Chains A and B, each alone.
Chain A
């Protein structure tokens, strides 16, 4: 049974104070907090079996390797990948995107086209621009509408036999819009294009099934789903991962090395050069266990209640404007107070112990679309409460009073 009070006890940080006030943490879309269960795994790793993996013959190395590979299997099961070696450990979503973008450099030629969306985070724009510069391919953009949704009829028009890759986020980080990725994937495949879905914002809320989606690549970050920072995963279909060249050279990713020629290791190690974030990978697995034990359906249902409650409360404030009003949204609220800079609102909220994000959220094209410098973004997680939303709403009212 989902019980937020019990859940909150798992998160030591939620009982601390900020600026003398109890912390209200609404910056979950940037980084989620870490439960004791995951912290314990990190402490256990460094206290009991910290060692380099895969090549050691000694017991500690074997233990660490087993735990690391178990974590890979946990991630495989969670995303329902066909094979464990289709899961590549990365330092996070950005790393995964760059790995794929780099791999496609040698596969693309002039006249090829890449499609991204207007709702992308900079990390899902810049690597593709760089890829276009290297390969001579052209970048096309699926436009958005006033509600913060992608315009699918325009997407249909962009697709052609020249389309080689489509990159879209599952959920927009700035607005919370859930994009119709099933449709996007199906349409892209009809013209023979590969699809990468950026799942950084979706994985904290829903459990994607990569086989059911038939997606070619899916990337996520551990630190947005109760895991540590600097850790993430790339799922790639086996056929694609075999086709892509390695991203970085180094130890771990080789089969044989001579000065004449090096042969690369099999998947997944081909893409995992150097000593990885071993503890991070193991803790990522523990975070996935933790969230699954709470249950993603229960998480989604509860977070939706928080979203509806907060939206209702905030909409009673005069001069407050929401950005991103799609019916298909996760628990992210982006807004501005009329005539007030989001930075000012964020500063006052911080003094009240309330953590929100302000600015362009690394999604400047969206801000340009709305012709605003940025927004205030409150993003809720399953450990937040309606009482915290009440504190936040009165904080926004106070900010409005002080700043008007």
Chain B
């Protein structure tokens, strides 16, 4: 808080001058009692503290930056703990997604069957038993957290050993993907409104009650209206530059039109 650099030489200076000062003060004291009671602006007492007054301001000023450095009882202002650290100890059983370690930065790295989350959290990707280990062949300094399948399994595995994996899958009869197009339909009965899917064959039969309480055809039927009506558009030919020029021109015209409209809208606003 105080400025020791400035103070040290000053103190030395003071010490050197002090004996003479004291003697001066002593000499003037009897005289100085009287004028002090009269006024402070007398010449005699002003001369005596002239040297200490030049020294003292350095030791007594406290700048704003100093005050912001903190107070004596800092610990009373500590934030709440973030509950970091190990959530599962070595050897504990975990399932996929189970958080093993919470940390700030990568103090630990994910090893076998583990992964690192967005905030460097280590979590398990396979069911098994947690291992905390070092793997100097992989990295000389990193600490790893891994999951092994067997209770007595050890990590790290030798580098050239085939990786140990689990399938974690079951066979089921193969589901055929639905080929025909279906659509969402709403039906109202005593149970309330129910939204269900209808096969393409039924969906095509005409307007039905659809979500949003509308009797209408399916969106994809509407989209195919032109096809049903036999309206064909000429397919775009890249080499037809005349067509391309007309299209480009039309687009430019439309853009110009929109721009002019935009200007018109703004004009009354400015008038207000």
B partners with A: no
User: Which residues of A are in contact with B by a Cβ distance under 8 Å?
Assistant: none
User: Which residues of B are in contact with A by a Cβ distance under 8 Å?
Assistant: none
